[in-house]
């Protein structure tokens, strides 16, 4: 049931304030004035000791689910102190990469049925790792075969392009980071800021959804382009990959997410006055580096569109050069949840304007159950 929406993808994008609330329901505890703020993940409570002691945490997934894990990686490393590595499921299998008994392997999958991810799970089980699932589908193969896990509870996702599952996956993995991380005095302020940020996140997502018309206007501007680059780094490297994935899979436009730190190692050669480039430069510890990336793109007459924190257009566009997308500012590790929304909207509007099928992109299936 699409309700008042024309497409499932559109409905699912606009549903995110509610789906995020459901994801967090019963799992965030704010406590009284002197009680600590905590996270409760029922499915993992008997396993945290093992996870904390593991030699590393390996995230394994495909497509959007892999991108969600990449977005959560920095906060998991920061709060847990355990090294976190990333594996695309098919690549882990192709290499028969090392997985050890001392590893915690985390399988991220909306459907819980993706063949590559499921096969990587069988492989990790054979190698004796603790296997944790993060899935949206109760009773799915990945939910059943993992030792333990967390359901993201985002509600059924119908559109082939994953949107609300992505933001709920990031939120679950941020809660996982909080739950694994020790309750040390030094991290207390940080933890509380993240928990407060999680409580407020649905409101901020509602706010960023107000950019719908602005993204439709931007889509009109970009509708006939051949290609679109998205530059991100740090917490928002994943946002760049995920924004580009949405644009290519539904709008059928070539798009690439690029790690901004790699710009000078190749991608800079593509920059001219025609190729549109979205640079994600919301306020965080990478901000000044992104400012310098923007300057260098302008110096080469690049066609730059900057995503920045509300009220900061002047510091990212000196002299009013280029277009800006201003988004609400949230705690750095939660910013990817906000920043992906305008890119989801852009991909959606580009698809409608280009006349392609939004909910069933050509050649794609919602759940990839063959290899």
- Is the CB of residue 346 less than 8 Å from the CB of residue 242? no
- What the block records as the tokens of 301 is 């007459």
**Among 63, 74, 149, 328, interactor with ligand UD1 by CB under 6 A:** 149
Q: Which does 110 bind (CB under 5 to 8 A by kind): ligand UD1, ligand F6R, none?
A: ligand F6R
71 binds ligand UD1 (CB under 6 A): no
Task: Report the candidate in 132, 93, 135 with the shortest Cα–Cα distance to residue 116.
Answer: 93
Q: Which does 97 bind (CB under 5 to 8 A by kind): ligand F6R, ligand UD1, none?
A: none
336 binds ligand UD1 (CB under 6 A): no
- Residue at token pair 């594996």: 87
171 binds ligand UD1 (CB under 6 A): no
43 binds ligand UD1 (CB under 6 A): yes
Closer to ligand F6R at the Cβ: 63 or 74?
A: 63
Count of chain residues binding ligand UD1 (CB under 6 A): 12
Closer to ligand F6R at the Cβ: 71 or 286?
A: 71
138 binds ligand UD1 (CB under 6 A): yes
- Is the CB of residue 166 less than 8 Å from the CB of residue 64? yes
Closer to ligand UD1 at the Cβ: 42 or 318?
A: 42
Closer to ligand UD1 at the Cβ: 151 or 164?
A: 151
* DSSP line for 257-302: EEEGGGGGGTGGGG-SSSSEEEEEE-SSTTHHHHHHHHHHHHHTT-
- Is the CB of residue 268 less than 8 Å from the CB of residue 294? no
**Among 6, 29, 31, 42, interactor with ligand UD1 by CB under 6 A:** 42
Task: Report the candidate in 361, 347, 357, 338 with the shortest Cα–Cα distance to residue 166.
Answer: 338
Closer to ligand UD1 at the Cβ: 138 or 364?
A: 138
Query: Helix, strand, or coil here: 347?
Result: helix
Query: Helix, strand, or coil here: 286?
Result: coil
135 binds ligand UD1 (CB under 6 A): yes
Beta carbon of residue 142, minimum distance to ligand UD1 (angstroms, whole number): 5
Question: Which class for 301: exposed (0-12), middle (13-18), buried (19 or more C-beta within 10 A)?
Answer: exposed
142 binds ligand UD1 (CB under 6 A): yes
Indicate the DSSP class of residue 312: -
- Residue at token pair 């439709």: 216
Characterise 265 by phi-psi region: left (phi > 0), alpha (psi -120 to 50), beta (else): alpha
Considering only CA atoms, give the Rg of the chain. Answer: 20
342 binds ligand UD1 (CB under 6 A): no
Query: Helix, strand, or coil here: 93?
Result: helix
Which of the stretches 28-36, 145-153, 235-243, 351-359 binds ligand UD1 when contact is defined by CB under 6 A?
A: 145-153
Closer to ligand F6R at the Cβ: 281 or 345?
A: 345
Closer to ligand F6R at the Cβ: 88 or 353?
A: 88
**Among 17, 61, 74, 133, interactor with ligand UD1 by CB under 6 A:** 133
Contacts of residue 258, Cβ cutoff 8 Å, sequence gap at least 6: 229, 230, 231, 232, 240, 267
Beta carbon of residue 240, minimum distance to ligand F6R (angstroms, whole number): 15
Which residues are near ligand UD1 by CB under 6 A?
42-43, 133, 135, 138, 142-143, 146, 148-151
């Amino acid at each position: 049931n699409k309700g008042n929406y024309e497409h499932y993808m559109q409905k699912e994008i606009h549903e995110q304030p509610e789906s995020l609330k459901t994801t967090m329901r019963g799992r965030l505890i704010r406590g009284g004035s002197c009680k600590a703020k905590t996270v409760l993940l029922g499915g993992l409570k008997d396993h945290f000791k093992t996870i904390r002691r593991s030699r590393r945490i390996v995230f394994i997934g495909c497509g959007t689910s892999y991108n969600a894990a990449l977005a959560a990686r920095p906060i998991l490393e920061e709060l847990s102190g355990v090294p976190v590595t990333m594996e695309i499921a098919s690549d882990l299998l192709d290499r028969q990469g090392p997985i050890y008994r001392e590893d915690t392997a985390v399988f991220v999958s909306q459907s819980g049925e993706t063949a590559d991810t499921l096969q990587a799970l069988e492989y990790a089980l054979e190698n004796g790792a603790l296997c944790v699932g993060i899935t949206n589908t109760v009773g799915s193969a990945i939910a059943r075969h993992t030792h333990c896990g967390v359901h993201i509870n985002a509600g059924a996702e119908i559109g082939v392009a994953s949107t609300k599952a992505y933001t709920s996956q990031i939120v679950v993995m941020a809660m996982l980071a909080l739950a694994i991380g020790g309750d040390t005095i030094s991290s207390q302020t940080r933890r509380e800021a993240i928990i407060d940020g999680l409580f407020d996140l649905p409101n901020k997502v509602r706010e960023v959804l107000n950019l719908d018309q602005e993204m439709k206007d931007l889509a009109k501007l970009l509708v006939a382009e051949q290609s679109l680059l998205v530059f991100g780094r740090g917490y928002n490297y994943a946002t760049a990959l995920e924004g580009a994935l949405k644009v290519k899979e539904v709008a059928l436009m070539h798009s690439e997410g690029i790690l901004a730190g790699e710009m000078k190692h190749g991608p800079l050669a593509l920059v001219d006055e025609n190729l549109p480039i979205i640079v994600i430069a919301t306020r965080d510890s990478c901000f000044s580096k992104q400012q310098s990336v923007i300057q260098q793109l302008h110096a080469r007459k690049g066609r730059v569109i900057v995503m920045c924190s509300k009220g900061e257009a002047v510091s990212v566009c000196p002299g009013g050069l280029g277009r800006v997308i201003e988004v609400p500012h949230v705690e750095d590790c939660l910013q990817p949840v906000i920043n992906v929304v305008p890119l989801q909207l852009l991909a959606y509007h580009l698809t409608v304007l280009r006349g392609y099928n939004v909910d069933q992109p050509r050649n794609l299936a919602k759940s990839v159950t063959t290899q």
